[in-house]
Chain A
């Protein structure tokens, strides 16, 4: 499918979100262009992960709308357009599953389109295309040798690479990455950035929450500064200046609750 070079991939309009009645995100307006690498930067508690929870549907916005490629979010989730890489901490690593099977779970959504008898078979006997996507993803993050290892026996950097492979295996148009570089060794970090750069040139849209300013300066096309709301957005050179980062740090609206009413 060919889309216009500057068509928008994700369109967020006037979105508000709250946890237990506590406002977290206020009046978010974002248009993320397709085929771009967008970095989302903000202090802890700024609502970055919340923004992702809205995008994967584990949270609903109180107000506002989110569109993906001009269609509804749930429709695109079911179609497998959006791949999500969670933070490492969000997963039960004691689960009895091998690296390959864990990456294969990325294909479970797409397997709904397989023929009925295929769907009744265990994942191991699923269609060749699923296996191929998984093998390519493992190859890309240099984890093919460990495909049969239980996920609990991996190091921190390897776990991140498996999570990245799982996001890649979906062959989704949009990649949502929640701090893919946090707590990762330098070798894995370089590898992950390289893989993402390849994905970017292959036409994928990347949306990444990060604290890594150096990598962002090098790779990102677009930077969004977030602190409960969108502080500013633009090219990395402008957004990552001392001045802008300082502005972002103090940008929390003083009386959120008041405006909330």
Chain B
């Protein structure tokens, strides 16, 4: 365990040094804030979170799981509160309540006549309410604000290590199970017919989603993480008709939003989580207008061309 942690920290060190080399090429005014260690950690965390969320958001968008992502992210709150109460690391509690809620949603869907959107709305608001009640008793409002909206400038090395670990795990899982995941997202019935274990794929994907949300807690917070799980994937979906390209573009949009958002938030001294999400939304709007295949302008132009010739 000790050796594992050591390895993790030296990997973090290495990544930060590599990042600083790139930052070194930037103009002085942009690079200046990154001389502080907390800014370096914030930058690396943001990049990692942007990348993992970007990758997972392809599945969320194509599988129509946006509401499920929202549900899991809210359901993480009571876990954080309970972990705080018991003195556990926050991510353990967060992961447990997030996973329990997603399983509970599945159970209600399967065994009652309640439809899935109602099942999700019901479960996640209940979990969120429980979290709010516990926190109101035990912690200050600043704490609550940090959990809800993120506090990337205050990211501790241990949290950064968790984010790195989640990122590596997510990438390895998606790489090893690329074909089953693609097939299950595209056509679950075909996956079933070919003898793939669709239950395992389904719950594996949900657990991966939960892990991603927990890892993003400190960067964008639980309210806004769902934006990072939808917007990059939606943007990429407008730009390409190939799944592998969509994955890459989506990761790119996630990372770009995180980096630009963080820089802007430091420059203008505004909330970083919100700024990151706004940058992602801006990229989405640009794609919506300018995408050569599915953009509004290209579509209008093609329509005109058909009309006049």
Footprint of B on A, CB under 8 Å? 20, 56-58, 74, 77-80, 82-84, 86, 90-92, 94-98, 101-102, 105-106, 108-109, 111, 119-120, 122-123, 150, 152, 166, 176
B186 touches A58 (CB 8 A): no
> Taking A108-B179, A152-B241 as contacts, is the C-beta distance between A97 and B194 under 8 angstroms?
no
Find chain B residues with CB under 8 A from A57 CB. Answer: 192-193, 195
A92 touches B62 (CB 8 A): yes
Contact partner of A108 (CB less than 8 A), chosen from B113, B176, B183, B192, is: B183
Q: How far is the CB of B198 from chain A (nearest CB, A)?
A: 8
Find chain A residues with CB under 8 A from B189 CB. Answer: 56, 58, 84, 86, 90
Give the complex CA separation of A82 and B192 in angstroms. 11
Main secondary structure of the interface of B (DSSP, over half): helix
Q: How far is the CB of B272 from chain A (nearest CB, A)?
A: 31
Footprint of A on B, CB under 8 Å? 62, 113, 175-176, 178-180, 182-183, 185-187, 189-190, 192-196, 237, 240-246
B179 touches A82 (CB 8 A): no
Q: How far is the CB of B195 from chain A (nearest CB, A)?
A: 4
Could you name 11 residue pairs across A and B whose Cβ atoms are closer than 8 Å?
Answer: A57-B192, A57-B195, A58-B193, A77-B194, A80-B194, A94-B237, A97-B186, A97-B241, A105-B179, A105-B186, A111-B179
Determine the residue in chain B with the shortest Cβ distance to A110.
B194
> Taking A98-B241, A122-B244 as contacts, is the C-beta distance between A92 and B186 under 8 angstroms?
yes
Determine the residue in chain A with the shortest Cβ distance to B192.
A58
A96 touches B243 (CB 8 A): yes
Q: How far is the CB of B20 from chain A (nearest CB, A)?
A: 33
Main secondary structure of the interface of A (DSSP, over half): mixed
Contact partner of A77 (CB less than 8 A), chosen from B113, B178, B193, B240, is: B193
Find chain A residues with CB under 8 A from B240 CB. Answer: 96
> Taking A96-B240, A98-B242, A120-B176 as contacts, is the C-beta distance between A77 and B186 under 8 angstroms?
no
B182 touches A96 (CB 8 A): no
Give the complex CA separation of A245 and B187 in angstroms. 34
Determine the residue in chain B with the shortest Cβ distance to A152.
B241
Counting from the closest, the 7 A-B pairs by CB-CB distance are A109-B194, A78-B195, A150-B241, A77-B195, A56-B193, A84-B193, A58-B192
Q: How far is the CB of A154 from chain B (nearest CB, A)?
A: 12
Determine the residue in chain B with the shortest Cβ distance to A80.
B194
Give the complex CA separation of A55 and B183 in angstroms. 19
Find chain A residues with CB under 8 A from B245 CB. Answer: 96
Q: How far is the CB of A34 from chain B (nearest CB, A)?
A: 19
Find chain B residues with CB under 8 A from A123 CB. Answer: 179
Give the complex CA separation of A152 and B187 in angstroms. 14
Find chain B residues with CB under 8 A from A122 CB. Answer: 178, 244
Give the complex CA separation of A152 and B186 in angstroms. 12
Give the complex CA separation of A96 and B108 in angstroms. 31
Q: How far is the CB of B183 from chain A (nearest CB, A)?
A: 5
Find chain A residues with CB under 8 A from B244 CB. Answer: 122
Give the complex CA separation of A57 and B199 in angstroms. 12
B186 touches A95 (CB 8 A): yes
B190 touches A82 (CB 8 A): no
Give the complex CA separation of A150 and B242 in angstroms. 8
Q: How far is the CB of B245 from chain A (nearest CB, A)?
A: 8
Q: How far is the CB of A167 from chain B (nearest CB, A)?
A: 10
Find chain A residues with CB under 8 A from B185 CB. Answer: 95
Give the complex CA separation of A77 and B198 in angstroms. 13
Give the complex CA separation of A96 and B250 in angstroms. 13
B195 touches A102 (CB 8 A): no
B176 touches A96 (CB 8 A): no
Give the complex CA separation of A80 and B195 in angstroms. 8
